[in-house]
């Protein structure tokens, strides 16, 4: 039996710079992996199958793990089928990329099990068939994501050194925000950012990567907050509890802040309990770079 970690990701920034003819949007986004990760195992069997310790996860063909397996098999029909087992630690509907990361882990497992691995470039091409940000998780390296997410540029070594090991608090209310809905809200209420402006801000931050990259902004945040009022209310209270501002990651509903010192996690939990009830989720983890 083989196992792979499937790390969560943070969109430290998310600029929306264009609307494409295919209905998707063009992005400029700084994306990093986290220590927080699901785990996926694989063993050969007669047919594809998936088990999971989280009963809310669909185990049918709609699951991205099985979609990734089918996509890999279309390119390499000779590979053995098998059973996957998924241990979930990344919440659903959070904008943390859990499903896409699980899918990329499945591709890595199948490539290893094939006996003739094709490597990351091949896996990235397969991953993009599965989902827009799935290709990022094949290598799982800090990157600037452009286009729909298919154009990945590795962050410079100096930036990675500044980010490596930085602590982050990630929190999520009891509800998720479907990605299509977040972008529909942006179409109604958001404003496209000029590409040159987004690239200029990014260049300025990379010259001083010790500063907070979340200040580059998330263009989905304001439109999502217009509908999901519990998010800005909870984030204001959470920020006061830890002395840091929280920002939404990706399409939400998870939000994060970079940690300085040792925050009072008990105080944070108490605040979130009052604002969001018992269904909230919170974790302190680290950036991997």
Task: Say whether 88 is catalytic.
Answer: no
For residues 231 and 236, give the distance between their C-alpha atoms in angstroms, rounded to a whole number. 9
Q: Is 133 a catalytic residue?
A: yes
Q: Do 112 and 15 belong to one domain?
A: yes
Question: For the chain, what is the mean pLDDT?
Answer: 95
34-50 pLDDT, tens per residue? 999 999 999 999 999 99
pLDDT at position 266 is 93
Report which of 289, 279, 287, 286 is spatially closest to residue 94, judged by C-alpha positions.
279
| CATH for 138 | 3.30.230.10
Residues 171 and 139 in one domain: no
Say whether both 195 and 264 belong to one domain. yes
Q: Are residues 117 and 201 in the same domain?
A: no
For 252-278, b/e burial (b = at least 16 CB within 10 A) is: bbbbbbbbeeebeeeebeebbeebbee
pLDDT grade, residue 135 (50/70/90)? very high
Instruction: Give yes or no for residue 140 having a pLDDT over 90.
Output: yes
Q: What is the pTM of this model?
A: 0.94
Is residue 5 predicted with pLDDT exceeding 90? Answer: yes
* List 9, 26, 38, 102, catalytic entry: 9
pLDDT band at 211 (very low <50, low <70, confident <90, very high): very high
pLDDT, residue 261, reads 83
**Percent residues over pLDDT 70 in the chain:** 100
**Domain total in the chain:** 2
Same domain membership, residue 143 and residue 38: yes
In the structure encoding, which two tokens stand for residue 121, read together? Answer: 């470039």
pLDDT at 146: 96
Within this chain, do residues 116 and 204 fall inside the same structural domain, yes or no?
Answer: no
pLDDT at 233 over 90: yes
Position 263 pLDDT exceeds 90: no
Do 130 and 168 share a structural domain? Answer: no
CATH number at residue 249: 3.30.70.890
Domain range holding 97?
2-154
Do residues 172 and 111 both lie within one domain?
no
Q: Which of 6, 242, 265, 20 is nearest to 151 (CA)?
A: 20
User: Which one is catalytic: 26, 38, 102, 133?
Assistant: 133
């Amino acid at each position: 039996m083989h196992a792979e970690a499937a790390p969560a990701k943070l969109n430290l920034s998310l600029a929306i710079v264009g609307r494409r003819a295919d209905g998707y949007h063009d992005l400029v986004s700084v994306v990093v992996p986290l220590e927080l990760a699901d785990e996926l195992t694989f063993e050969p069997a007669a047919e594809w199958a998936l088990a999971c310790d989280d009963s809310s996860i669909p185990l049918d063909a709609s699951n991205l793990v099985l979609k990734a397996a089918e996509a890999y098999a279309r390119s390499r029909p000779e590979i053995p089928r098998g059973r996957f087992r998924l241990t979930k630690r990344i919440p659903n509907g959070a904008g943390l990329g859990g499903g896409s990361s699980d899918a990329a882990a499945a591709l890595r497992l199948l490539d290893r099990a094939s006996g003739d691995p094709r490597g990351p470039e091949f896996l990235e091409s397969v991953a993009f068939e599965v989902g827009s940000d799935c290709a990022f998780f094949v290598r799982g390296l800090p990157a600037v994501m452009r286009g729909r997410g298919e154009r990945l540029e590795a962050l410079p070594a100096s930036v990675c050194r500044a980010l490596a090991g930085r602590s982050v608090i990630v929190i999520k209310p009891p509800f998720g925000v479907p990605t299509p809905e977040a972008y529909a809200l942006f179409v109604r209420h958001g404003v496209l950012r000029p590409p040159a402006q987004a690239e200029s801000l990014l260049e300025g931050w990379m010259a001083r990567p010790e500063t907070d990259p979340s200040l580059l902004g998330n263009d989905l945040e304001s439109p999502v907050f217009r509908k999901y009022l519990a998010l800005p209310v909870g984030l204001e209270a959470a920020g006061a509890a830890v002395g840091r501002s929280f920002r939404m990651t990706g399409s939400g509903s998870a939000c994060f802040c970079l940690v300085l010192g040792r925050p009072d996690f008990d105080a944070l939990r108490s605040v979130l309990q009052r604002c969001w009830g018992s269904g909230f989720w919170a974790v302190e983890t680290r950036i991997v770079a």
